[in-house]
Amino acid sequence: MIFNIIREHGIPYFLGKSIPGLIGIISVPVFVRLYGFEQYGQIILFLTAANMVTVFSCGWLGQSWIRFQPTKHDLGEIKRASLMAIGIGLLFGTFSMLFMYLTDFSFNGNFYFSLIVYHVVIVAMIIFYIVHAGLQAVFQSKAVMKISIFLSSFSFVFPVSMYFLNESISAFLLAYGIAYFMAAFIGIGILLRSLPDQYTTQQSTYGWLKYGFPLAIWMTLQASIPYIQRMLIKQFLGFEYVGKYSALSELIIRAFSLLVFPLTMALQPILMKLWNQNKKLDAIKLWRKSLRILLWVFCFIGLLFLGVNGWIVDFTLSILGVTLKQPLFVISLLSLSGFIWQSNLLLHKPIELQKETIKMVGAMMISIGIIIILNILWLNQFQLVGAAGAASIGAIVYTVMVGMYNRKILQKIGYKKP
């Protein structure tokens, strides 16, 4: 069954991730060369903050759609919930912008223009996220692939083009926001045509919020990890190191998301559907098979890295034009962290399916606390090796805790290993 799912949905998701991933891998060194590490560090901090606000504002809605799969008869409720998400985004976007204003960010001398641009980015991200989740909920994997490719292309071409008109950070963010708007509008038409027409149980914004809010908290905490780490790097080492760390982690995370994210996206709506139909044991069997695939992928990548790690390190440093202390350790630890965090999106599925998401939130809070403490202890002494090491340990702690919770859930539903 799992290979049929991968063939039908995984391949479009892979293409929808691989093409954007390749464009993203190209864009990182291009943006670094254009803006330099210091400005690139500030750009990434703005974008990670916007992403954090976005997932808090609409993550509950996207996850609820995937779980409950609304129809055309829920369009009125969909509009109300979407406007509510945008309102939350604007409110918390203002708070996060004020925080950055108080922590020595550059606004090119015009805070109010930067605030408007920042809100444009957040609203655009929210609309895109909602459309993306809606298409995923109605099993439109090819449409997800299409809008993902458009987004990656626009978010590379528009900022590069804008650079030759205006080299400011605000101009970059404006171009980036326009890219999200363009991709989202392409997806809206497809989504409206794809919503099923049959009647289902009446759905409501309150019901979606009740189910999805704990997931939104978890997603916000996860999105806060890169933001917190970069803020700590800024405080201890400066914006230049933020740029270096961001460039390396962006390259590595994009590379690993090519392998893990398509499987996660293809399986999520299938697992939800099986669970909703009370086929819990079938859902768990499918989930376990997917974890075995990830384990084999991890072993293969690990062996490959051991064989050619010198070439990988030299190539990565050369395309970014960056010099680091102990680059092998930084890249190895970032790779380990990136793969584990991507895999955790699938690992915690039993907890999510069982609606015990408060356990996910608790595990994530403990993981973030460890990451913060280790960064404070290690950044001055080990610099970026310390940051990468803290991220890896935080990911491992989350994995261990989720694994313990999963075991209890499997026992509760009566699953026994074959």
**Picking from 128-132, 251-255, 348-352, which range would have the lowest pLDDT averaged per residue?**
251-255
pLDDT tens digits, 338-362? 888 878 888 888 888 887 878 888 9
- Please say if the pLDDT value at position 4 is more than 80: no
Contacts of 96 (CB under 8 A, 6+ apart): 49, 52, 53
Helix (H) or strand (E) holding 285: helix 280-320
- Burial level of 309, CB count in 10 A (0-12/13-18/19+)? middle
| 170 or 111, higher pLDDT | 170
Other beta carbons within 10 angstroms of residue 147's beta carbon come to: 25
Residue 155 pLDDT greater than 90, yes or no: yes
Q: Which amino acid is at 106?
A: S
Q: Where are the beta strands (DSSP E) in 1-69?
A: none
pLDDT of amino acid 55? 92
Q: Residue written as tokens 């464009």?
A: 23
What does the CA dihedral 313, 317, 322, 326 come to, rounded to 10 degrees? Answer: 10
Q: What percentage of the chain reaches a pLDDT higher than 70?
A: 88
Q: Is the pLDDT of residue 189 over 90?
A: no
Average confidence (pLDDT) over 154-160: 94
pLDDT at residue number 5: 46
Higher pLDDT, 11 or 142: 142
> 9-42 pLDDT, tens per residue?
445 555 555 676 677 778 888 998 898 888 888 8
Is residue 390 predicted with pLDDT exceeding 50?
A: yes
Helix (H) or strand (E) holding 234: helix 205-236
- Got the DSSP string for 95-139? HHHHHHHTTT---TT-HHHHHHHHHHHHHHHHHHHHHHHHHHHTT
> Could you report the per-residue pLDDT of 91-104, keeping only the tens digit for each?
999 999 888 877 76
Q: pLDDT tens-digit profile of 277-335? A: 778 887 888 888 888 888 887 888 788 878 887 888 888 888 887 778 888 888 889 88
How high is the pLDDT of residue 201?
64
> According to the per-residue pLDDT averaged within each range, which of 105-119, 200-214, 397-411 is highest?
397-411
Given a cut of 70, whether residue 239 has pLDDT beyond it is: yes
Q: What is the pLDDT of residue 257?
A: 65
pLDDT at res. 233: 93
Say if CB 352 and CB 386 are below 8 A apart.
no
CB 393 within 8 A of CB 374: yes
pLDDT of residue 399: 93
| pLDDT reading at 274 higher than 80 | no
* DSSP alpha helix (H) spans, 321-383: 327-347, 349-353, 357-382
**Residue 91: per-residue pLDDT:** 94
- If we measure between CA atoms, which residue out of 146, 140, 130 comes closest to residue 15? 146
pLDDT at 283: 80
pLDDT at residue 10 in the model: 45
Q: Dihedral sign, CA of 89, 54, 127, 166?
A: positive
Per-residue pLDDT, 415: 66
CA neighbor of 266 nearest in space, from 410, 139, 126, 120: 139
pLDDT at 84: 93
Q: Tell me how far apart the alpha carbons of residues 229 and 234 are, in angstroms, rounded to a whole number.
A: 9
In this structure, is the dihedral angle defined by the CA atoms of residues 242, 60, 411 and 369, taken in order, positive or negative? Answer: positive
Residue type, 346: L
pLDDT at 288: 84
pLDDT of residue 56: 93
Q: What pLDDT, on a 0 to 100 scale, did the predictor assign at position 3?
A: 46
Residue 8: pLDDT above 60? Answer: no
What is the spatial distance between Cα 75 and Cα 331, in angstroms, rounded to a whole number? 46
Residue 64: per-residue pLDDT: 82
Measuring CA to CA, how many Å separate 85 from each of 39, 43, 267?
30, 24, 26
Percent residues over pLDDT 90 in the chain: 29
pLDDT at 179 over 90: yes
pLDDT at 111: 78
The model's pTM is 0.81
* Rounded average pLDDT over 369-386: 94
Instruction: Report residue 167's pLDDT band, with 50, 70 and 90 as the boundaries.
Output: confident
Mean pLDDT over the full length of the chain: 83
Lowest mean pLDDT among 37-41, 56-60, 207-211, 267-271: 267-271
The pLDDT value recorded for residue 216 is 85
